[in-house]
Amino acid sequence: MKKLLIALAAVGLLALVAVLYAVGTYNGLVNGQQTVDAQWAQVQNVYQRRADLIPNLVSTVAGAANFEKSTLTEITEARASVGKVTLDASKAPADAAQLAEFEKAQGQLSSALSRLLVVSERYPDLKATGNFATLQSQLEGSENRIAVERGRFNDAALAYNASIKRVPAVFFAGIFGFKEKPYFAATTSAQTPPEVKFDFSKSTK
């Protein structure tokens, strides 16, 4: 009888250890997922900061110089395209195709803004405008923040994706709905200077 009780106690202790280990692993996955979601929200914040600068930037450029209408139109349309791609700001996307669509729209806006800054080099009066200089500085700061937060998101997603593939988490991650997160991917076009075509015959006035 005593041996039976000892055996039952041993089994119970092992079961308790197994449960505690499973709970600890589950909580670790939850924390990893929350980290990815929090970093995604930060990515969304820096993109929104850039989007909020654009109306003032376009207004300043259009009012300060005989600027190219096509460039301003491109920026306005690119910003509108970004707004059509709606993603939950509080939860990192699990769909790689959806993230790719978001990234493509943001990339088109980045390209248009880059083109605007390149074109502005040919307008000394515009560059001398205090408001434009301030907006340009804020825009460049936003681009730097975007690059940093995208990198941090990828780091968080990498750590989380690795955690759901490790033993023992790999055995029940799928059961509890822990799915792999997609990454932001660097594109070759991001390293290519924008092609600039000047058209001084057009005016926004």
Q: Provide the domain count of the chain.
A: 1
- Asked if the structure places residue 181 within a domain, the reply is yes
- Asked if the structure places residue 107 within a domain, the reply is yes
Q: Which residue has the tokens 């200077």?
A: 193
Q: Which of 37, 47, 14 is nearest to 179 (CA)?
A: 37
Amino acid code (one letter) for 165: K
- Asked if the structure places residue 148 within a domain, the reply is yes
**Distance between CA atoms of residues 126 and 121, nearest Å:** 9
Measured from the Cβ of residue 149, the count of other Cβ atoms closer than 10 Å reads 20
Q: Which of 126, 155, 147 is nearest to 58 (CA)?
A: 126
**Distance between CA atoms of residues 39 and 93, nearest Å:** 12
Is pTM beyond 0.85? Reply is no
- Asked if the structure places residue 105 within a domain, the reply is yes
- Asked if the structure places residue 205 within a domain, the reply is no
**Distance between CA atoms of residues 83 and 48, nearest Å:** 10
Domain of residue 38 covers 2-191
Residue 164 structure tokens: 């759901």
- Asked if the structure places residue 30 within a domain, the reply is yes
Digit-by-digit pLDDT tens for the chain (205 residues) are 777 777 777 777 777 776 777 778 888 899 999 999 999 999 999 999 999 999 998 888 887 667 778 888 899 999 999 989 888 888 899 889 999 999 999 999 999 999 888 888 888 888 778 888 899 899 999 999 999 999 999 999 999 999 999 988 888 888 888 999 999 986 544 434 344 343 434 444 3
For residue 30, what are the contacts with CB-CB under 8 A and spacing of at least 6? none
- Asked if the structure places residue 201 within a domain, the reply is no
Instruction: Report in angstroms the alpha-carbon separations of 56 from 70, 111, 120, 131, 173.
Output: 17, 18, 15, 9, 47
- Asked if the structure places residue 156 within a domain, the reply is yes
Environment class of residue 144 by beta-carbon count within 10 Å: exposed (0-12), middle (13-18) or buried (19+)? exposed
